[in-house]
Amino acid sequence: MRKVVTTMLATLFIVACGEDPKNSAIVDIPLIAGKTQEKVAAVLGQPAACENVKQGKKCSYQPGKTDIVFIAGKADWITVNALDDVPYSKNALPFLGLKASTPSSANKFVMRWSGVSNLIDVSIFPSEGQVSYAYIKTATP
């Protein structure tokens, strides 16, 4: 309950101050999607860890507890885990630096947007009314 009240107060404060919610992005996806590891590091800082995976190189970054799989040298599959204070709603996208919009599909298990900001797919997954994590595909399905 405390999380819900805190989130509501934070959202009310942002709206009352006239700030663009995009400025409060936990991770600004448009700044990192499709970028090289060096450009992503300029935005998120150096990765905490990297490993080679079947698809390319997977790196973990502290801001937003973000995991990125670089495919063909570009940030392609992005997972943002630190979204616990974000309500599970169509208004979650600004916390990812994206404009709020109506999802292409939605149910109690996932909300999915296709073609938002030149991304293939943005999906958010709930946990107790909040966003558990977001998964973004930028180029490779």
Q: CA-to-CA distance for 109 and 132, rounded, in angstroms?
A: 11
pLDDT score for 131: 97
pLDDT attached to residue 21? 43
- Total domains, the chain: 1
Please give the model's pTM, rounded to 2 decimal places.
0.82
How high is the pLDDT of residue 56?
A: 96
Give the per-residue pLDDT at 22: 39
Q: Name the DSSP class of 30.
A: H
Q: 60 is in which domain, residue-wise?
A: 2-137
Q: Which two tokens stand for residue 19?
A: 């700030």
Mean pLDDT, 10 residues at a time, the chain of 141 residues: 41 41 78 97 96 97 91 97 93 96 96 95 97 95 76
Residue 31's pLDDT is 96
CB atoms within 10 A of CB 102: 8
Instruction: Report the chain's terminal Cα–Cα distance, integer Å.
Output: 37
